[in-house]
């Protein structure tokens, strides 16, 4: 009899705990809702959040007696957590940035990166793709955020970028001969198809999520050209083939036209910057389904700094003024041509936490507001192959942000995010 009573009590306790778990939910009342997929805006919507996911999306304000928490955003526009496909959380450009690699230890860089990560999350960006760091800092940062040690966005990182000798991501550029050494695949320097395969495999060993290559010269490297092609087709094809073997996609920094075309033909998923896209390159990207990640903020930032005496090294400033302006001018052509476009800022060149400035530049240069929002939600999620992100719908991860006002009427209000939830946890609530 006592055993039977014990069993009944145990079963009752388990049922009670189970029901309590089912009842553990957060309710959000959204005045307006942009779901990341539809072109229409819904009004008076209830989101029910449970176990880090959206369990229900109801039309109207549904009443819940036992909700753990009710969040009133009836005066706000609610959107999916924003996604930035091009960040560098390990640093930030300023007048003394070039000196830091000689004065800062990896631990210094890592600790500072937590500040940049928190600022990015507070700005409403719940997911980022980090495209190139030093000392694998963003691998450790990604893991620390996932474990709850520090606050920040969900990170998909390329870790150290791949370059050729003297190329845009060669870590020995601008260093005196005594310190240069001869960096190879482990350090991200590739000079043959064999090197390319080894470099990709090293990133897999390090724990990266994807591969980043510098297919052309760049603005901020201490090298003469900002646009020359820097990989052979054989090297590019070896990188993409090895990346495919290891479940990686490839993002290609590319300013110059020839380098863009080679990278697209080789099968990269995204072209970063795409400054000198011509008609042939645009048609090639459309045919291949390759996304352009325009990073207009980077163009704006380097243009301004390039005009300021002493803000950048002379060899960099000269490139910055030309390339920066062209990045802004050429984006409109890509929009009109129908090139697939996804959202990315290159923050780290521009200040972290100001990522939403990119929306303003995109809209000012020819993109419709809803198109820009989708580029940072469902489209960016598609690039990442993360179908649970970038959309507010039943069963999706509960990444939710809100702004007061209508971003379709004034895209600039996305720079004033008032509410941030990542995976069901609230990190910002100005309206409380």
> Catalytic one among 212, 319, 374, 396?
212
DSSP one-letter code for 360: H
* Total residues found in the chain within this entry: 432
User: 223 Cβ partners below 8 Å, 6+ apart?
Assistant: 166, 167, 168, 173, 174, 217, 315
For the chain, helix (H) and strand (E) counts, in that order, are 14, 14
Confirm whether 212 is a catalytic residue: yes
Burial class (CB in 10 A: 0-12, 13-18, 19+), 95: exposed
Active-site position among 319, 346, 399, 422: 346
Residue pointed to by tokens 């039309």: 59
Catalytic site includes residue 206: no
Euclidean distance between CA atoms 93 and 341, whole angstroms: 25
By C-alpha distance, which of 380, 430, 377 is closest to 402? 430
* Calpha distance 426→379 (Å, rounded): 24
Between the alpha carbon of residue 378 and those of residues 55, 78, 191, 246, 346, the distances in Å are 19, 15, 37, 25, 19
Concatenated DSSP letters of 369-413? HHHHHHHTTHHHHHHHT-TTSS--STTSB--EEEESS-TTT-GGG
CA distance 425 to 400: 10
Question: Is there a contact between 190 and 240 (Cβ–Cβ < 8 Å)?
Answer: no
Q: Which residues are catalytic?
A: 212, 346
């Amino acid at each position: 009899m006592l055993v039977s009573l014990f069993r009944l009590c145990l079963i009752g306790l388990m049922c009670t705990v189970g029901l309590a778990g089912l009842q553990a939910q957060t309710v959000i009342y959204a005045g307006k809702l942009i779901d990341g997929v539809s072109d229409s805006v819904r009004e008076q919507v209830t989101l029910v959040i449970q176990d880090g996911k959206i369990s229900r999306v109801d039309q109207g304000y549904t009443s819940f007696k036992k909700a753990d928490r009710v969040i009133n955003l009836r005066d706000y526009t609610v959107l999916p957590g924003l996604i930035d496909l091009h960040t560098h959380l390990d640093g930030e450009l300023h007048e003394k940035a070039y000196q830091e690699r000689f004065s800062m230890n990896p631990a210094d860089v890592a600790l500072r990166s937590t500040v940049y990560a928190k600022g990015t999350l507070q700005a409403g960006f719940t997911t980022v793709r980090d495209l190139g760091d030093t000392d694998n800092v963003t691998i450790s940062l990604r893991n620390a955020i996932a474990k709850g040690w520090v606050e920040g966005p969900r990170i998909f990182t390329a870790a150290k970028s791949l370059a050729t000798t003297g190329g845009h991501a060669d870590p020995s550029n601008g260093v005196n001969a005594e310190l240069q050494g001869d960096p190879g695949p482990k350090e991200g320097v590739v000079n043959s198809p064999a090197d390319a395969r080894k470099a990709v495999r090293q990133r897999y060993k390090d724990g990266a999520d994807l591969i980043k290559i510098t297919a052309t010269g760049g603005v901020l490297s201490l090298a003469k050209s900002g646009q020359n092609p820097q990989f052979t087709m054989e090297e590019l094809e070896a990188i993409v083939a090895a990346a495919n073997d290891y479940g990686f996609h490839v993002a290609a920094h590319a300013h110059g036209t020839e380098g863009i075309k080679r990278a697209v033909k080789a099968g990269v998923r995204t072209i970063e910057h795409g400054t000198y896209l011509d008609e042939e390159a645009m048609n090639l990207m459309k045919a291949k389904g390759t996304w352009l990640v325009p990073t207009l903020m980077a163009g704006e930032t380097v243009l301004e700094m390039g005009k300021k005496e002493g803000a950048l090294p002379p060899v960099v400033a000269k490139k910055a003024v030309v390339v920066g302006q062209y990045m802004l001018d050429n984006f409109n052509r890509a929009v009109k041509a129908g090139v697939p476009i996804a959202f990315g800022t290159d923050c780290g060149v521009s200040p972290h936490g100001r990522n939403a400035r990119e929306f303003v530049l995109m809209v000012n240069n020819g993109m419709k507001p809803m198109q820009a929002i989708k580029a940072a939600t469902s489209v960016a999620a598609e690039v990442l192959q993360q179908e649970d992100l970038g959309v507010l719908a039943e069963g999706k991860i509960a990444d939710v942000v809100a702004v007061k006002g209508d971003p379709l009427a004034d895209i600039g209000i996305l720079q004033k995010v008032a509410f941030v939830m990542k995976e069901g946890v609230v990190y910002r609530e100005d309206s409380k």
